[in-house]
A = this chain, B = another copy of it.
Amino acid sequence: MSQILDLVGIFVFALSGALMGVRKRLDAVGMLVLAGMTALGGGVLRDLVLNVRPIAFQSLGYVLVPVAATVIVFFWHPHVARVMPAILVLDAAGLGLFCAVGTEKALEYGLNPLHATLLGVTTAVGGGMLRDVLAGEIPTLLYDRQLYAVPAMLGSGAMAALSAWGLHGWPATLAAAVLAFGLRVTAMRRNWRAPLARGVSE
């Protein structure tokens, strides 16, 4: 079950990477690289920090799903772009899932709750940041004032808290993922915005 959810998250993140490739007029290779980086980058960073072999280099699906997403975007990107609102919701689901699963794995490897939360957020937002840097842009989440990292932070923190209270297993993971997902979707709908430093005009 969590394996399937994980692959859904990877698929959605890979779509966003491949679409960025189309927008920047990259070729097929560039689209594939951005798709793979977006989908797998956060998990690879997490596993490098945990000092284990990245899961992206152990499981077949982790390689095939970004390839499939790239093929779909290559041939049908106008349709994919048209359903972007739906994709943004799926992306929020991927964000929620990745932060919950990332935090859980970090706790399993013995990190304390604070560092596990930090690593969960890294898992959730790392791939998107790599995508933006490779595409020659400042990572969106650094400046666009949408709440993207903050829901991941709260979801990861919730996962760490639940675990500290002895609540483990997929219900806890799902609860943390749903919290981050709900916050992210609400932030989009209500247009909640991160503050600028005091005195910096909009």
Report if A57 contacts B (CB, 8 A).
yes
- B197 and A74 within 8 A (CB): yes
Nearest chain B CB to A117 CB, angstrom units: 9
Taken together, the copies of this chain in the complex come to: 3
**Once the chains are docked, how many angstroms separate the CA of A115 from the CA of B143?**
35
Contact indicator A57/B119 (Cβ below 8 Å): yes
Q: Are A198 and B142 in contact (CB under 8 A)?
A: no
A142/B21 in contact, CB under 8 A: yes
Asked, given contacts A50-B53, A114-B63, whether A29 binds B149 with beta carbons under 8 Å apart, the answer is yes
Which A residues are within 8 Å of any B CB, using their own CB? 21-22, 24-31, 33-34, 44, 48-54, 57-58, 60, 63, 73-78, 111, 114-115, 118-119, 129, 133-139, 141-145, 148-150, 193-200
